[in-house]
């Protein structure tokens, strides 16, 4: 049986599944229930400055029958009293010594204010601190959250202040609302962070109500931009996690966050270089119980692959992230339609004809008359037909003889110009 335990920059956890700071992590009551369900870690809802929340505060992006493909909020940090939270953290740690309790913090950018709150948190027995430099709404307008995470100098400076007094490892939670995640990541490292977590939420407006003509969510006839999360943000988060873990100058452990709903989502983050993962929206949609499936799924996958420990595969996929210029220009695939699976909907034909390379024909006769045919010579192997096909495994991309690895950068090195491989038009 696989060993799922991890250690994130000095914070041990029996499994890599942590709840991310947010509504599911706002009290000791929730911490007890989460740990009973099996979560390895609990990112306590951000403590800090006094705030007042608005009604309502959440919005969602529904898409073709799915109610919450993306989720959006204009909620601030915790509105519960600091002392109450600290007492509950102390109590939770006593009862769950083997689990990771990471306390998220956000206060104004003054050295003494940071020292004051970190010293209070030191006394709780928590296992780590997470600096919320990511919240993109409400707090950022007051100079906190993403306003810090978007300026590498501030990120480095405040991390240093926290490290001066913190008795436990410090994770810096990064904002995705930047052009290049490398800069804030390296700034956290330079400030002495023990790890980073990413991503926090993405600036967004999920939609506009066509009756009231007000953006969502509405607060007495007005709205505000909010933070986007849930399944829709997973590709952005995976890219940012991969970018940092792939960078040879970046050496900190990563806690991966963003759109994780299943064990396989989580495993993708581990493969892209995360050591632990954090989940918020999925816990809000489905409850704490989803962790059981995550533990079982990851264990089974690791057993099947012969991995005993997460460190044996963490970052494996990130190593395969390459510059575009290093990809093989001679690699060729063409689409193949499995006639037995094809339902004859011809969506592949329409997509290829109107928006790709006109490489699909409808010239078959008899029983196969609705099954399109790929013109191998015209197909550029773009994947579009296989992506729009509604039947799984019906269209696959099949490798063709390659003429030896040669990338754009190889050509440049040799002072040559690559020949185009755009196929001849036969349509
Ligand atoms: C309603 C809501 C409130 C949140 N509050 C916080 C917070 O107080 N501190 C924080 O660091 N992140 C907060 N987050 C961000 C999450 O921790 C997480 O980074 C983000 O939602 C992406 O993960 P997900 O796709 O699993 O939700 C909040 C997210 C939501 C949806």
Query: pLDDT of 163-207, one tens digit each?
Result: 999 999 999 999 999 999 999 999 999 999 999 999 999 999 999
* Cα dihedral value 208, 212, 216, 218, nearest 10: 160
Name the CATH architecture for the domain at 6-320.
Alpha-Beta Barrel (3.20)
pLDDT at 424 over 80: no
3-state secondary structure of 292: helix
* DSSP output for 28-68: HHHHHHHHHHT-SEEEEEEEES-----S--EEEEEETTEEE
Does residue 75 line the site of ligand 1, with CB under 6 A? yes
Query: pLDDT of 52-67, one tens digit each?
Result: 999 999 999 999 999 9
Hey, whose CA ends up nearest to atom 13 of ligand 1?
22
CA of 110 to the centre of ligand 1 (A): 24
Does residue 39 line the site of ligand 1, with CB under 6 A? no
Does residue 261 line the site of ligand 1, with CB under 6 A? no
Q: Name the residue with tokens 């970046």.
A: 250
User: Max CA-CA distance within the chain?
Assistant: 81
Hey, whose CA ends up nearest to atom 1 of ligand 1?
73
* Residue 427: per-residue pLDDT: 41
Query: pLDDT of 201-235, one tens digit each?
Result: 999 999 999 999 999 999 999 999 999 999 999 99
Q: Which residues pair with 228 in a beta bridge?
A: 72, 202
Which residues are marked as active site? 135
Q: Give yes or no on whether 6-320 and 324-413 have one common fold.
A: no
Distance CA 57, CA 74 (A): 5
CATH number of 324-413: 3.30.70.20
- Tell which atom from ligand 1 comes closest to the C-alpha of 78: 8
Hey, whose CA ends up nearest to atom 5 of ligand 1?
22
Domain ranges across the chain: 6-320, 324-413
Residue 383's nearest CA partner among 334, 328, 322, 321 is 334
Distance CA 23, CA 26 (A): 6
Query: pLDDT of 373-389, one tens digit each?
Result: 999 999 999 999 999 99
Does residue 230 line the site of ligand 1, with CB under 6 A? yes
Does residue 71 line the site of ligand 1, with CB under 6 A? yes
In which region does residue 65 sit, left (phi positive, over 0), alpha (psi from -120 to 50) or beta (all else)? left
pLDDT at 421 over 80: no
405: number of Cβ within 10 Å: 12
**Signed CA dihedral, 289, 198, 208, 220: sign only:** positive
pLDDT at 249 over 80: yes
- Tell which atom from ligand 1 comes closest to the C-alpha of 45: 8
Model confidence band, residue 266 (pLDDT cutoffs 50, 70, 90): very high
Phi then psi for residue 281, to 5 deg, are: -60, -40
Query: pLDDT of 150-160, one tens digit each?
Result: 999 999 999 99
**Signed CA dihedral, 9, 136, 81, 216: sign only:** negative
CA of 139 to the centre of ligand 1 (A): 13
**Signed CA dihedral, 221, 227, 230, 236: sign only:** positive
Tell me the pTM. Answer: 0.96
CA of 21 to the centre of ligand 1 (A): 6
Hey, whose CA ends up nearest to atom 30 of ligand 1?
22
First and final C-alpha spacing in the chain: 56
Does residue 173 line the site of ligand 1, with CB under 6 A? yes
């Amino acid at each position: 049986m696989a060993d799922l335990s991890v250690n994130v920059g000095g914070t041990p956890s029996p499994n890599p599944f942590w709840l991310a700071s947010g509504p599911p992590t706002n009290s000791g009551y929730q911490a007890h229930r989460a740990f009973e369900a099996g979560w390895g870690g609990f990112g306590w809802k951000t403590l800090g400055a006094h705030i007042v929340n608005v009604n309502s505060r959440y919005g969602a992006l529904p898409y073709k029958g799915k109610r919450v493909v993306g989720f959006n909020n204009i909620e601030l940090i915790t509105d519960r009293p600091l002392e109450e939270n600290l007492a509950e953290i102390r109590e939770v740690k006593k009862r769950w010594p083997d689990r990771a309790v990471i306390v998220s913090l956000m206060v104004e950018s003054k050295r003494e204010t940071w020292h004051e709150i970190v010293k209070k948190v030191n006394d709780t027995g928590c296992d780590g601190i997470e600096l919320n430099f990511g919240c993109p709404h409400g707090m950022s307008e007051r100079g906190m959250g993403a306003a810090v995470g978007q300026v590498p100098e501030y990120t480095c400076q405040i991390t240093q202040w926290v490290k001066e007094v913190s008795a436990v490892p410090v994770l810096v939670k990064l904002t995705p609302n930047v052009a290049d995640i490398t800069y804030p990541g390296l700034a956290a490292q330079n400030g002495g962070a023990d790890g980073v977590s990413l991503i926090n939420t993405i600036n967004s407006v999920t939609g506009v109500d066509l009756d009231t003509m007000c953006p969502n969510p509405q607060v007495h006839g007005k709205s505000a931009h909010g933070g986007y999360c849930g399944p829709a943000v997973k590709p952005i988060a995976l890219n940012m996690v991969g970018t940092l873990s792939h960078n040879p100058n970046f050496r900190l452990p990563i806690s991966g966050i963003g759109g994780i709903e299943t064990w396989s989502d989580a495993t993708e983050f581990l493969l892209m270089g995360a050591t632990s993962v954090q989940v918020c929206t999925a816990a809000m949609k489905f409850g704490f119980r989803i962790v059981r499936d995550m533990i079982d799924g990851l264990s089974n996958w690791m057993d099947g692959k012969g991995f005993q420990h997460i460190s044996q595969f963490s970052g494996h996929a990130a190593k395969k992230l390459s510059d575009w210029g290093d990809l093989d220009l001679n690699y060729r695939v063409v689409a193949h339609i499995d006639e037995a699976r094809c339902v004859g909907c011809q969506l592949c034909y329409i997509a290829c004809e109107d928006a790709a390379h006109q490489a699909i024909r409808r010239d078959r006769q008899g029983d196969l008359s609705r099954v399109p045919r790929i013109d191998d010579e015209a197909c550029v192997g773009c994947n579009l037909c296989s992506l729009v096909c509604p039947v799984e495994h019906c269209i696959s991309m099949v490798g063709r003889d390659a003429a030896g690895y040669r990338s754009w950068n190889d050509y440049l090195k040799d002072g040559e110009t690559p020949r185009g491989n755009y196929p001849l038009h036969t349509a």
